[in-house]
């Protein structure tokens, strides 16, 4: 049973092709026992479990065969949840990267996004001094000699709902267990009100460094899509998060709601009252100037 979008060119065996109409290359014959193709399994698509003949099929570069519409839908739907991940770009059976000439219009922009985020993550890994950390140098580690894989797993990137560009959103571990946020709340530093005048002309907005919302420390975490924390305040966020500004310590403010003596800010900067978000500046420029 072929549809109007099915390729019907005759194959070498004489049977009509069951791939996509006007495809670049035909998939193996769909007729059972004709060519004995090992990836046709029980005669059904592994994704939708419907018989092969109900929809056009496509054979990926890894050799596995699926309904074309199933693979196209996977690529169109993209990642699950807020954080950008790329597991949906892998073959459902062997986890090889999905690739085929007839899928280029879907895979090309995704590959470009992957390379963009990988570059950002690798740059941040070097900036954080973790390029040669034990996670990468330990032979027994998951990411031995794979700093790119480690960086992609360590950091979380999101798609800005306004400019549709990827941006850094903190460490992945900070996002684990947090409920999904409204996609409209995903806003990059460049598009957010707090950093509108803090875009670095050299490095853009991806490396903007924030002050901890609840004390005079540099923030390391970004949680709930709204709040930047230093390490101590993040570990004890229930002691400070959600409290009224009047109950928070004023500058100089120590971590976890402690009031520090004196009047000089530990960061050496002027900033809004404790409890408000504040961008210190570009981390890359600060790091360069420190040398």
166: closest CA among 121, 126, 125? 121
List CB contacts of 88: < 8 A, sequence separation 6 or more. 74, 75, 77, 78, 79, 80
Give the 3-state secondary structure of the chain.
CCCCCECCCECCCCCECCCECCCCCCCCCCCCCCCCCCCCCCCECCCCCCEHHHCCEEECCCCCEEEHHHHHHHHHHCCCCCCCCCHHHECCCCCCECCCHHHHHHHHHHHHHHHHHHHHHHHHHHHCCCCCCHHHHCCCCCCCCCHHHHHHHHEEEEECCCCCCEEEEEEHHHHCCCCCCCHHHCCCCCCCHHHCCCCECCCECCCEEEECCCCCCECCEEECCCEEECHHHHHCHHHCCCCCHHHCCCCCEEHHHEECCCCCCCCCCCCCCCCCCEEEEEHHHHHHHCC
The whole-angstrom separation of Cα 153 and Cα 150 is: 5
Q: Which of 70, 223, 251, 282 is catalytic?
A: 223
| 17 labelled catalytic | no
Q: Which of 45, 70, 174, 200 is catalytic?
A: 174
| 223 labelled catalytic | yes
- The residues assigned a catalytic role are 174, 223
């Amino acid at each position: 049973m072929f549809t109007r979008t099915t390729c019907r060119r005759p194959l070498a065996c004489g049977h009509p092709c069951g791939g996509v109409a006007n495809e670049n290359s035909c998939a193996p014959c769909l007729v059972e026992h004709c060519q004995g193709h090992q990836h046709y399994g029980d005669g059904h698509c592994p994704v939708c479990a419907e018989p092969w003949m109900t929809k056009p099929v496509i054979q990926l570069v890894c050799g596995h065969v699926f309904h074309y519409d199933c693979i196209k839908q996977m690529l169109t739907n993209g990642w699950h949840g807020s954080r950008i991940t790329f597991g949906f770009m892998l073959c459902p059976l062997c986890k090889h990267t999905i690739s085929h000439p007839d899928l280029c219009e879907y895979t090309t922009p995704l590959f470009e996004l992957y390379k963009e985020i990988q570059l950002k993550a690798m740059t941040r890994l070097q900036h954080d001094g973790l390029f040669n950390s034990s996670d990468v140098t330990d032979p027994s580690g998951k990411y031995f000699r794979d700093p790119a894989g480690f960086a992609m797993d360590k950091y979380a990137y999101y798609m800005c709902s306004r400019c549709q560009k990827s941006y850094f959103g903190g460490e992945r571990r900070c996002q684990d267990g947090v409920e999904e946020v409204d996609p409209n709340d995903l806003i990059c530093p460049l598009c957010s009100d707090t950093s509108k005048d803090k875009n670095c002309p050299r490095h853009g907005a991806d490396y903007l460094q924030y002050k901890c919302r609840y004390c005079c420390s540099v923030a390391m975490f970004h949680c709930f899509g709204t709040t930047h924390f230093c390490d101590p305040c993040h570990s004890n966020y229930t002691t400070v998060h959600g409290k009224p500004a009047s109950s928070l310590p004023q500058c100089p403010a120590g971590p976890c709601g402690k009031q520090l003596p004196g009047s000089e800010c530990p960061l050496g900067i002027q900033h809004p009252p404790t409890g408000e978000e504040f961008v210190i500046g570009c981390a890359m420029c600060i790091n360069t100037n420190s040398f």
